Structure 1
Amino acid sequence: MREPVPLAAPCCAPSTPAHCSTSATRVNRHEEICPICNLYRLTTPASAVAALFEADVVAGANLADVVAPSDPGLVLAQGRLTAMTWGFPRQTVSPVDGKALKPKPVNNTRTENLGSRFWRASFVSRRCLVPLSAWAEAAGETGHMTRTWFSPKGCDTFAVAGIWKNSAEWGRVFSMLMVPGHEQMEALNDRMPVILREDDWDVWTQGTPTAAHALCRTWDGRLDVEVTAQPWSNRARPAPSPPPQLSLPL
């Protein structure tokens, strides 16, 4: 019998610190393009990330330090670090002529929607870890927004819960899971990524859906907050394109 996917996420995370290296707009009732965590950075070298996760290093991935939707990002899936496009493609049609439009990336997944048809199969069978150094939230007035970065206190590299799939449009893609936000970021957003402790990495990637879903909780440790004057958007976004496709079995 297929195990049911819980539809309501727990609200609080364990107080045990995350393992670290010290070096929406509504789409439909099941899926959302969330105005949350639309920018993150990974400044740790890929070789160091591979050592942290005890995973094989994937060569040939062209990755930027700062990752935005439709960019390639580093993901740990099935024991290997590989490049995937950030965001599941969502097909839409023109309201004018009914013709198909370019797909848009749905880069965040609200945990209460994991039972939907859009997310369910990936949550049940294709859970992954997304290494981050920090994620950003937009601060300030519209047109003058800047980046404020968040990370677990004292961590240079940590793992966020993700899901992935092989898409016809962009190849392998991933999405981050979102839960209610931390009190330190309540002025900027009410959602945050699911931060995982090292002891929970295997549970997330290999455990049952019920065990994995129990990890979808708001982080209750302290956060490091970096307020910057850097503009929220300082470069034009290119059309989505797949990262180099590397060998990774479905």
Structure 2
Amino acid sequence: MCGRYAISMPPEAMRDLFGFLDEPDFPPRYNIAPSQPVPLVIRESDGEGRPRRRFLLVRWGLVPSWAKEMPQSLLINARAETIAEKPSFRGAFRHHRALMPADGFYEWQAVGKGPKQPFYIRRKDGKPFAMAAVWDTWMPSGGSELDSCAIVTTDANEALAPVHHRMPVILDEKDWDLWLDPAATEKELLALLRPAPEDLMEAIPVSTRINRVANDDASLQERSLVDPEPEKPARPKKPATDERQMGLF
């Protein structure tokens, strides 16, 4: 599962990397949470039918176009293993795929009985990357339309499995066009939904300040270890009693 992530690259750098013509206005974010607006890169045709990439700001938490009402639980992740069959995701998988720019994402590791240790997971070379995403447009009765998305996840690779058993699908740059191509076959698309190479990412332990959504600054990505919960002193054992003897009182 991916429940928090970061994207702090300047808008101009994002435009140059992902090759869209829009001028995005998206501030640096270090602790993006579900239900918040997130940037996507999608493909559409221009006025003459030629393909182009476009910047789109959407809500994180997919609402399928066919939904009669807002889902009670946020659909923030779509499992790669079932994305082509699950009713909530299959339409978006077939018709509305996107690149989700990111600098890194966060996962939590259980540490004994104390608080979980958060980790910031990024590329070892520090470069931004694209997570595979699906999106859709929902139009409720009597309301304005809502664009929303979910991150595609897969099994974690061996390097990240000790932290969490799932990870976002991180698309190689050479595969961006294929993921966005409306003519791509299901077989071609599913082949892209695999764990990242073992040597691509690194996991950095960070402070539990990341747990609070209101905290959103660069210091969240600084190395920090969670203090283990102190062990409770053992209770003294009660002296054994000899049940064969009667008490005086």
Normalized against structure 1, the TM-score is what?
0.70
92, 95, 108: which one aligns with 2:77: 108
| Gap regions ≥5 residues in structure 2 | 44-52, 216-249
**1:173-192 mapped onto 2 (5 Å cutoff):** 173-192=148-167
Give the Cα separation in 1 of the matches to 2:131 and 2:95.
17
Amino acid at match of 2:190: H
Identity of aligned residues (%): 23
| Gap regions ≥5 residues in structure 1 | 1-35, 91-99, 238-250
Max radius of gyration: which structure? 2
**Corresponding residue for 2:42?**
77
**1:1-250 mapped onto 2 (5 Å cutoff):** 36-61=1-26, 64-78=29-43, 79-89=53-63, 103-114=72-83, 115-141=85-111, 144-168=115-139, 171-206=146-181, 207-222=184-199, 223-235=201-213
Give the Cα separation in 1 of the matches to 2:177 and 2:32.
25
**Corresponding residue for 2:243?**
none
**Contact 2:179 / 2:189 at 8 angstroms: preserved in 1?**
yes
Deviation at 1:103, TM superposition (A): 3.3
Deviation at 1:157, TM superposition (A): 0.3
**Contact 2:4 / 2:32 at 8 angstroms: preserved in 1?**
yes
Deviation at 1:143, TM superposition (A): 7.0
Deviations 1:46-82 (A, max 9, x none): 2211100111234455673321111111100121112
**Contact 1:46 / 1:57 at 8 angstroms: preserved in 2?**
no
Give the Cα separation in 2 of the matches to 1:132 and 1:59.
15
**Contact 2:40 / 2:99 at 8 angstroms: preserved in 1?**
yes
**Count of residue pairs the alignment pairs up:** 193
Question: Compared with structure 1, are the counterparts of its residues 73 and 143 closer, same or farther at alpha carbon in structure 2 (3 Å cutoff)?
Answer: farther
**Corresponding residue for 2:244?**
none
Amino acid at match of 1:41: A
Give the Cα separation in 1 of the matches to 2:13 and 2:30.
14
**Contact 1:147 / 1:231 at 8 angstroms: preserved in 2?**
no
Q: Which has the higher contact order (CA 8 A, sep 6+)?
A: 1
Deviation at 1:180, TM superposition (A): 0.5
Provide the secondary structure at the position in 2 that maps to 1:147.
Answer: strand
Question: Compared with structure 1, are the counterparts of its residues 101 and 71 closer, same or farther at alpha carbon in structure 2 (3 Å cutoff)?
Answer: closer
Provide the secondary structure at the position in 1 that maps to 2:147.
Answer: strand
Amino acid at match of 2:96: R
